[in-house]
Chains A and B, each alone.
Chain A
Amino acid sequence: MPGEEMSVSVNGQSRVPPGFRFHPTEEELLHYYLRKKVAYEKIDLDVIRDVDLNKLEPWDIQEKCRIGSTPQNDWYFFSHKDKKYPTGTRTNRATAAGFWKATGRDKVIYSSFRRIGMRKTLVFYKGRAPHGQKSDWIMHEYRLDDHTIDTNASGLMGETTQEEGWVVCRVFKKKNHHKCLDSPKNSSVTVEENTQILKTSNDGSLDQILQYMGRSCKQETETNNNIRINTSSSRNNNIRIKPIQVSVNNGLHERSQQQLPALESPILPFLGKDSTRLDQIQACTSQAGCYQPIDVQDLPLITQSEPSVTNQGFSGWAALDRLVASQLNGQSETCKQLSCFDNDSNMAFCSPPDHELQLPQLRGSIHRSSSYHTSQDYNNEIDLWSFTRSCSSSSDPLCHVSNSST
């Protein structure tokens, strides 16, 4: 085997060898890249660029954050959190065309059983709050744990406040019920598995998702330290309500950040999947003299080689999504109630306990959902599994993270 040294030059021409992708674990993102960034250490290669999030639309990210010329499904950058108000702690994540809005709740990232940071999930909305139009662009924003930063700063109090603004972000497009085409993951689904997908997607998926909801409710007792906003207020309440409540709280929290003047025409021309793919192809071709000419062909047309069963399998998910959405939309009365205190909170910032009182119907629906809860064990674990549980299960993502460090 020749001992050739391959290297990456992100800003120059591509030197990423064929077959290799930048696909860091969450631990690598936090422990290696963000830690070095925060500590002003030199990072060998300029793989992750600094980006001003407020000046970068998601559809420009893939051009700006390209790594070599290989096809990418996700893009990475460092960003320094810009405070919305000089005195506050809120982050301004608005761009010219829209804004990033948090969804769900933050996930704790562990490294060998030690908590090292947090992950926030955000969705890009085009337009101005509260009239934004949800897009498929998703961002995972990773920040180091407060404790980690404290030990790193080692007494330099002045720098701590400045440093804690750095985050490392991963941006990707939500896949709409069919897997991304150039992902090898897709191709590794065997014919046998495809039939299993067909079998399970029709009857099992709803149970599965309901089980997630039910399970997440249960696990709240173990993981609710993530949600500071709730822990103080809801100990005495029915814990099953929490996931809903969290999303409501987050929604309020984020919305009040986003009080920007409404634009006349908030919706910019949407660059659909095809056009961005086209951009990708063009960008690839324009990088003439890059290492592998093959990459140009590497993009979407591969679909045709995939068995059509796969698509059917995921259209089952589409149906499921519609079902869930319709169930949720059925709660419109609750929504009205929500909107009542929504107004209040914008003016007076109600405390969370008030919100809980407004949610009887949601609570009822969650109870119904959790009755579908079965004891069956699924392998695709989700971030809400408790930490202890994840350590004992070998198929758990967290275990992958810790294993990959060895």
Chain B
Amino acid sequence: MGDGNVNLPPGFRFYPTDEELVVHFLYRKAALLPCHPDVIPDLDLYPYDPWELSGKALEGINNHWYFFSRRTPNRISANGYWKPLGVDEPIFTGESKKVGMKKYLVFYLGEAPTGIKTNWVMQEYRLSDSGSSSRSSRKKGNSKMDSSRLVLCRVYERSGGSQGSFCDEDGDGTELSCLDEVFLSLDDLDEISLPN
């Protein structure tokens, strides 16, 4: 899959914001508007194991996988299941308009409720209820059922340990390393020593 039809020079990566995912990709897909570029594949209800997504979903930066799916009461794959964390996060536009919700799920190996928790995380974006109902009432007809269940999923494997998960993970240097921060504070010391 990948970004094959997007002809971009090296260095460009799929690195969407929450708002872009909801407003540009999810909304347009649900409203049957042309998606441009149409890069996120629709895996429908196929219950892939997260490590099977390679080659099927769109790979974004930091090995995040993106695909469309349908909301289901339980997501069970060949080797495990996705369990919701129980906290949904609203997605706002820049104008503070709520456009969608983000649900967190964790992948467990085995069968519920005795599965083994993994580091695989899914963020499931859906359009906010008000938005989708007003739109579907506007559009009526065939897409109504489908679009209200449409979700956009971002799946990734959290890096192993729990420590320091907030520090820069991609290592591309867009963030100062912790050590650089130390050096920066040492520069302050340097400043104090300046002759007058």
Residues of A near any B CB (own CB < 8 A): 1-8, 16-26, 28-29, 32-33, 43-45, 47, 71, 73-74, 101, 103-105, 119, 121, 123, 130-131, 134, 138, 140, 170, 172, 174-175, 179, 182-185, 187-193, 196-197, 200, 204, 208-209, 212-213, 216, 243-244, 247-248, 251, 255, 292, 294, 296-302, 304-305, 307, 313-314, 321, 324-325, 328-329, 331-332, 334-336, 338-339, 342-343, 346, 376-384, 395-398, 400-401
Contacts and interface: CB of A to CB of B under 8 A. Distances in A.
Nearest to B96: A301
A43 to B, nearest CB: 7
A331 to B, nearest CB: 6
Contacts of B170: 23, 185, 397, 400
User: What 5 A-B pairs come out closest when comparing CB atoms?
Assistant: A397-B171, A297-B94, A24-B11, A380-B167, A19-B16
Contact of B169 (A204, A255, A380): A380
B136 interface: no
A172 B37 CA distance: 28
Contacts of A379: 159-161, 163-165, 167
B171 A22 contact: no
A251 B187 CA distance: 7
Interface string B157-196: 0111111111111111111111111111111111111110
Nearest to B62: A185
B62 to A, nearest CB: 7
Interface in B80-97: 85, 87, 89-96
B72 to A, nearest CB: 21
B177 A383 contact: yes
Contacts of B64: 184, 188
Given A184-B18, A294-B23, A378-B164, A343 B195 contact: yes
B190 A6 contact: no
Contacts of B46: none
Interface string B17-31: 111110111000000
Contact of A6 (B6, B41, B102): B6
Given A29-B11, A43-B9, A185-B169, A212 B94 contact: no
A20 B17 contact: no
Given A22-B12, A123-B184, A209-B178, A5 B7 contact: yes
Contacts of A331: 189
Given A301-B93, A321-B181, A335-B193, 6 more contacts: A172-B175, A184-B64, A187-B123, A213-B182, A304-B96, A397-B173
Contacts of B18: 184, 187, 302, 305
A23 B179 contact: no
B166 A313 contact: yes
Contacts of A248: 190
Contacts of A1: 5, 38-39, 41
A71 B15 CA distance: 11
Nearest to A129: B194
B175 A175 contact: yes
B10 interface: yes
Name the residue among A19, A189, A209, A401 with the largest chain B CB count within 10 angstroms. A19
Nearest to A341: B193
A377 B161 contact: yes
Given A4-B36, A25-B172, A204-B163, A192 B178 contact: no
A12 to B, nearest CB: 15
Contacts, number: 303
Contact of B191 (A134, A197, A243): A134
Interface residues of B, number: 85
B149 interface: no
Contacts of A131: 194
Contacts of A22: 11-12
A179 B166 contact: yes
A52 B11 CA distance: 23
A329 B192 contact: yes
15 contacts: A17-B36, A22-B12, A32-B10, A130-B195, A187-B89, A188-B121, A193-B162, A204-B163, A208-B163, A294-B20, A302-B17, A379-B159, A379-B164, A383-B180, A397-B172
Nearest to B41: A1
B14 interface: yes
Contacts of B94: 296-302
B161 A378 contact: yes
B192 A332 contact: yes
Nearest to B167: A380
A8 B179 contact: no
A33 B94 CA distance: 34
Nearest to B15: A21
A343 B196 CA distance: 10
B165 A23 contact: no
Given A247-B186, A380-B168, A23 B10 contact: no
Contacts of B87: 191
B6 A336 contact: no
B109 to A, nearest CB: 17
A15 to B, nearest CB: 10
Given A23-B61, A25-B172, A401-B171, A324 B185 contact: yes
Nearest to B189: A328
B108 interface: no
B51 to A, nearest CB: 14
Contacts of A188: 62, 64, 121, 123, 154, 156
B116 to A, nearest CB: 16
